[in-house]
Amino acid sequence: MNTSNTTRQNPITRRRWGQWALAATMGAGLAACGGGGGGSDEPPTLREAFDRLQPGMTKKQVYELTARTPVRSSTAHYQYEDGSEKLYVSFAPDSSTTSDNFLINDATWSIINGESITRGY
């Protein structure tokens, strides 16, 4: 007769505990990186878009960067408005090609009744 006072843990209980621990760790990891969805569905603010503008960008690239439709547009410019922010981007013909490609010329970001920044490209 075994009079040992040691208790054996049920292996099924240990396995179940391991599964829960793994699930909790994975859940915390996904929550820390935003769920793994690849980013926010929100477009960047107009200031963020302004800061990401680069020399040589085409009209299409600027449109994709801002992730919104301009409130006014023409061959030579896009104008965006969002709340109190405004972004005005002008374009000039690409002189290195004979195509109708237009490249960023300059941009102005501003807050209504406040700060304003202009950059040439």
Give 93-103 pLDDT, tens digit per residue: 988 876 678 99
Distance from the Cα of residue 78 to its chain's centroid: 20
Phi-psi region of 111 (alpha: psi -120 to 50; beta: other; left: phi over 0): beta
Distance CA 72, CA 28 (A): 44
Read off the pLDDT of residues 47-78 as tens digits, 9 standing for 90 and up: 999 999 999 999 999 999 999 999 999 989 99
- pLDDT given for residue 35 in this prediction: 46
Distance CA 61, CA 68 (A): 12
Distance CA 90, CA 73 (A): 10
Distance CA 32, CA 9 (A): 34
Read off the pLDDT of residues 3-40 as tens digits, 9 standing for 90 and up: 555 566 666 677 776 676 767 776 665 555 544 445 56
Determine if the pTM surpasses 0.95.
no
Retrieve residue 35's tokens. Answer: 């769920």
